[in-house]
Amino acid sequence: MNGVAVRSRGVTTGQVLSLLLLFGVSDWVSAAIRYAIPEEARRGTAVGNVVADLALDLGRLPGRRLRVVSGGNKKYFGVDLTSGALLVNERIDREELCGALSPCSLSFEIVVENPLELYSGTVEIQDINDNDPVFPSSQARLEISESVAAGTRFPLESAQDPDVGINSLQTYQLSANPNFALDVQTRVDGSKYAELVLEKELDREEQRELNLVLTALDGGSPPRSAHVQIHIDVVDANDNAPVFNQSTYKASVRENTPSGTLVARISAYDLDDGPNGDIVYSFSSHTPAKVRELFALDSATGELRVKGQLDYEEAKLYEIYLQAKDKGAVPGVAHCKVLVEVVDVNDNAPEVTVTSVYSPVPEDAAPGTVVALLSVTDLDSHDNGLVNCFISPGIPFMLSSSLKNYYTLKTEGALDREKAAEYNITITAKDSGSPPLSAVKHILVQVSDVNDNAPRSSQDSYDVYVPENNVPGIPILNVSATDPDLGRNAHLSYSLLQGDTTFGHLFSINRENGTLYLLTSLDHEDQVEFSMMVQVQDGGFPPLATNVSVSVFVTDLNDNAPTVLYPHPNTTATYTDVVAPGTPAGHMVTKVVAVDADAGYNAWISYTLLQATDPSLFSVGPHNGEIFTARQLREDDAPEHTLVILLKDHGEPVLSTSATISISVAEMVKEVLPDLTDVAPASDPRRHVTFYLILAVILVSAAFFITMLSVGIFKCYKWRQSKELYNSSRSTTYRTPGPFHHIDAVRGGFTPPSFYHQVYLTTDSRQSDLLCKKPFTSSPLGSRQGTIRNGEPGLYHQIVGTASRLPAPAECGEQDQVSQFVHVVNDASFGRSFGYALHE
């Protein structure tokens, strides 16, 4: 009890002095004693023996007038003069005396006369557990929204216990429940209070209210307790969207159904209450207007009814999208689909079409030999369009169906031409409508003598297109073949004819099912086409076989970025183009030359001016790379210009590269290409340069024309000589060649060393492409065929000498003569001429 405030009730100093003056005694003795008793002690309970504790003479007490003096109106203590014991005179309630203070004590004074002596004493009143905890009310009510997140706290009213120490309120307990937990906290003064903690989110749709019991316990033995009923109302939140009973409703309506007929009744429910749970049905926003004209929807009941005139021939099925929306502040929406099938009436008779008749039929044909193929159509639907076919009984034929509405007429028994040379077969087709409709077809089948049948492929040749960079081991083709024979004679095996030994490393075929596999990854830039022969052989004796031609074309992917040929990207030399001051707008200064190893659209190069010293001075042709002056050059323009050209192909993804062009503004050309320095005269290169350029163009053009004319005559002569050989050899199928390589050319000396077989100009070129193709052929002559196709028009430079002037397709092979095409471009703005040659 040390350090705790004590309330003392005793004699004050003034009272003691009054007593001293009253008795006229000048000397007195003071002593202090201390006792402890529990509260609520009964009257007469001995607190302690004060006479003994103060060492007083018990026999003299009557004459000394010993008495107890205490403050207040009540005299809590008295002394038994016969025994000297301090006794309880009044009921002592600790809570009434001290309240929450602890420890609680009462002070008293003992006055003894003759001689006068004053003694002080203190009695500590010990607490007992005589009070229950008390809540302010017996019930508590909370309203909690179901949208409150877990972890939210709700303070509760605290219970009060006037006892102190261990007998005071010590803890709270909460009845078991799945949603809330109790967190007991301690205040600074040591009192306890409780908070509800939401551990699991509430769901009003599962439980609308909760009833909990909060119990307050003190620390007495036995403990005392108090209870309060906690009623929790779960407040609804619009946390549930409407839900349809079905995501898809199906209904069928006859095309002659009158307006107002019920088609379907959709139903949705919402677990929320009030406006949050009220549902309104409507068409979805993307429902076509035609559907709204034909059908009506009740917004309250969800009944879908016919509104317009349904027509089976116009539409056999309607897909109607509907929605259900509640009336909450933020309404929830649900969607469903109604499939309405329009049912047709049986007003169309079946129609039998004979696709093909295999007549005559060999008399040794095995049972199951196909005689005819039939197709049956009925414009009606469902049972009205379900057609069954029958043939006349008593004949060795039967009908079988492997596909819907398709029938095969086959032999069912052995045929004997000597007994019956022909059969007139009646085929009856009848639908399943009510009443049923039918149609009749007659087929005349003749019987003939045939000895054998070779395997038959569905087609004589296959063209397979495989993208380059493929995954090795993938199947690329299934060669399909049939044999009308039975048993071993109809068992087919597939193999590759070894025309080229390298094909064994590239291709493989499954002997049983004819699946052709690609064993390695192909590259379009290495080889565009592979040709081979597949042999389909039956198991008869002797075996019969059929050869099928297979051509595999490697299609191009955009796996090569454009390559700049001019200016050369890998040289340290600087190519500077010169333009004179005052040059007008639209003057072509130079051209960027580029090639893309890909083909077709992947190799179509576009040019963009990415960066320039003066962006307003120059522009670049988007398709040909030609650099023009965008305006007239002025004297204040910079003397040196650097242009960065971005080159992009049109593949997916787009690949690009860049080229840097240097242009000088000067009065005269000070530098020319190193390979053309011999063209300029030694004496005065500036006075007669135009004359020499014109003369060079004329001479080169004449030489080129004569050369091309000679080559054309020679090729025509050879073509006529080999015409009979080509006609006698097995025909070579011309196939669409793989995509061409694109190349732009403007100056001499920039032809890449790997440029062969194909030359294709830019999109603005008006010249032709030279394409050499080496297709597969089974002929021992191994002929080589060539094709020439026209290029795209529009190149600014006119290239003299085009491949289109050849009188016949040029032959390209390993033994061909090397041909040269010399092209001359006359650039009047530069006043000089450049030539270039394309070498194969």
Task: Work out the average pLDDT over 612-629.
Answer: 91
Q: List the single range of 360-369, 601-610, 790-799 with lowest mean pLDDT.
A: 790-799
pLDDT recorded at residue 500 = 66
Cβ proximity of 563 and 595 under 8 Å = yes
Alpha helices in 1-78 (DSSP H): 13-23, 50-54, 61-64
* Band (809; pLDDT cuts 50, 70, 90): very low
Give 1 or 506, the one with higher predicted confidence: 506
Residue 729 has pLDDT above 90, yes or no: no
Amino acid in the structure at residue 259: S
Element (H, E) at 385: helix 382-385
Proportion of the chain above pLDDT 90, given as a percent: 20
Give 60 or 71, the one with higher predicted confidence: 60
CA torsion sign for 262, 268, 274, 280 is negative
Distance CA 740, CA 770 (A): 10
pLDDT recorded at residue 263 = 92
pLDDT recorded at residue 31 = 57
DSSP 330-355: S--EEEEEEEEEEEPPS----EEEEE
Task: Work out the average pLDDT over 11-32.
Answer: 42
Tokens of 453: 């049948």
Alpha helices in 672-775 (DSSP H): 689-721, 723-728
Length of the chain: 840
Task: Work out the average pLDDT over 551-564.
Answer: 90
Q: List the single range of 323-332, 483-492, 696-705, 807-816 with lowest mean pLDDT.
A: 807-816
**3-state SS class at 418:** coil
Residue 3 has pLDDT above 80, yes or no: no
Q: How many CA atoms within 13 Å lie on the side-chain side of 272?
A: 26
Q: For all residues of the chain together, what is the average pLDDT?
A: 76
Residue 767 has pLDDT above 70, yes or no: no
Task: Work out the average pLDDT over 411-417.
Answer: 82
pLDDT recorded at residue 474 = 92
**3-state SS class at 445:** strand
pLDDT recorded at residue 80 = 83
Distance CA 743, CA 765 (A): 11
Report for 31-40, 197-206, 261-270, 676-685: range of highest mean pLDDT: 261-270
**3-state SS class at 619:** strand
Question: What are 135-140's contacts with CB under 8 Å, separation 24+?
Answer: 135/159, 135/214, 135/216, 135/226, 135/227, 135/228, 136/160, 137/228, 138/227, 138/228, 138/229, 139/228, 139/229, 139/230, 139/231, 140/214, 140/228, 140/229, 140/230, 140/231
Q: Which residues pair with 320 in a beta bridge?
A: 338
pLDDT recorded at residue 543 = 86
Q: pTM of the prediction?
A: 0.33
